[in-house]
Amino acid sequence: MQTVTEAEVKYILMHKDRMLENLQQRRYSAYRELAKIDRGEDLPTLSSPGYGLAVQASHDPDLYNDMARRQKLYDIYEKEIKMLLYDLREQEETVLKVWYCFTKLPEPYYSCLDRLYVKKEPYKKVLAESGYPKTTFRRYRKKAIDAIIMFYDYDYGDLLRNYRIAGQIKPALEEKGGRGGG
């Protein structure tokens, strides 16, 4: 799994449900195509009933070559669908992992991103209601996104086993703040 960018984090926070639904629909379609392949639909093979006999009976090299070509296309198509399913699973894991990292943010970082990107409230309204100066608010927003990216890069299994992540994010955010950032 690769790292995520700030733009990807924002997009996932704004569109998580729609993204997961779309990935599920695409995965379902790919599984249907894979099932067609398993049932031998669409492309006849050399081992299909009747085709082997037809090739043997006719001794037609063109028919045999056509069947071999089609079988090769069939095999390539099956591999492509399996690769697509793998890619879709990776994309879904990315969305879920970003969301998991987001839910573990401590306050005020969580509220900042939740209101701006998940609830899609206007920036000026969230800023005004936060009670923070503009620069502090911007720094919190930036640190929250940076924290998601930083913890996204951790091993996913470690994230799921580590329920102290919120306690780890807060010191990391404060440490980043000591260097100026924002």
pLDDT digits (tens, 9 = 90+) for 55-93: 454 566 677 677 777 778 888 888 888 899 999 999 999
Consecutive sets of 10 residues in the chain, 182 residues long: mean pLDDT of each? 88 96 93 79 50 50 74 83 92 93 91 95 94 93 93 66 48 48 41
| CA gap 82, 56 in Å, rounded | 33
Q: What is the pLDDT of residue 101?
A: 92
Check if the beta carbon of residue 119 is closer than 8 Å to that of residue 60: no
| CA gap 136, 127 in Å, rounded | 10
Q: What is the pLDDT of residue 164?
A: 45
Q: What is the pLDDT of residue 51?
A: 45
Q: What is the pLDDT of residue 54?
A: 46
| CA gap 151, 137 in Å, rounded | 21
Please provide the DSSP assignment of 9-26 as one string: HHHHHHHHHHHHHHHHHH
Nearest to 157 by CA among 102, 118, 100, 116: 100
| pTM, rounded to two decimals | 0.69
Within a 10 A sphere around the Cβ of 14, how many other Cβ atoms?
14
